[in-house]
Amino acid sequence: MTPTNTSLAETTQTGAAPLAAGFADPVHDAQGCFRAVMNAMARPATRQLIPAGGLKPPAPLTPVAAAIALTLIDYDTPVWLDKPLMSSEAVKQFLRFHTGAPIVSEPVEAAFALVSAPESMIPLASFNQGSLEYPDRSTTVILLGQTFSAGPAVMLEGPGIKDTALLTTGPVPPVFWDQVIANNRQFPRGIDLIFAGASEAAALPRSTRITPQEA
């Protein structure tokens, strides 16, 4: 992440609304968020508190998703936005200013994807799956507006999990978990997932094995 100058972020361009500010303390806020995201990735199904640094991004971008974006995304990581986010000039200006990331129109070109309407999201297979030679070039997909007490539960096994763990999150499409199971069977290829809630985030790396639970 490239630290930003908050005073510059608060300036107003001629005829334009003020640009929402980034982290109040770019270095320390980003470091705290990075640790939380890495802990979520290392321990699938655990919810990690995301220090949003007082962020008030333009809707439909949420503070937690904005914090993750400002931490992980930079000028060298193309980002794809779903239709509600792409339709907001304020969101695009916010991300371009604070991260420098190019916004791409094709999901397969993205290093990161932000999905503000996960219940109607495109298939996971639409994103870059990486290759056997370069699995790290796959897309990391960030789902916004997640509620960890709603949605179907899935049982997780694999690295970072002692025995098994349960993950409940939503909203997601009805076919979502079938797509995730197919995705993770490609390991080491496949996308990684980050679920961004109101104040916390959970993650699901492609190395995790998934078993749906009976409703």
pLDDT tens profile 59-76: 999 999 999 999 999 999
> Which among 102, 210, 96, 128 is positioned nearest to 164, based on CA atoms?
210
pLDDT beyond 50 at 11: no
Q: For domain 21-212, give its CATH number from 3.40.50.2000, 3.40.50.11310, 3.30.1330.10, 3.60.20.10.
A: 3.40.50.11310
- Cα 17 to the center of its chain, rounded Å: 26
Integer Cα distance of 175 and 136 in angstroms = 25
Q: What is the mean pLDDT of the chain?
A: 91
| Mean pLDDT calculated for residue range 98-107 | 97
Tell me which residue has tokens 């096994």.
Answer: 157
Confidence band of 17 (pLDDT split at 50, 70, 90): low
> Which among 36, 27, 33, 42 is positioned nearest to 66, based on CA atoms?
33
Confidence band of 9 (pLDDT split at 50, 70, 90): very low
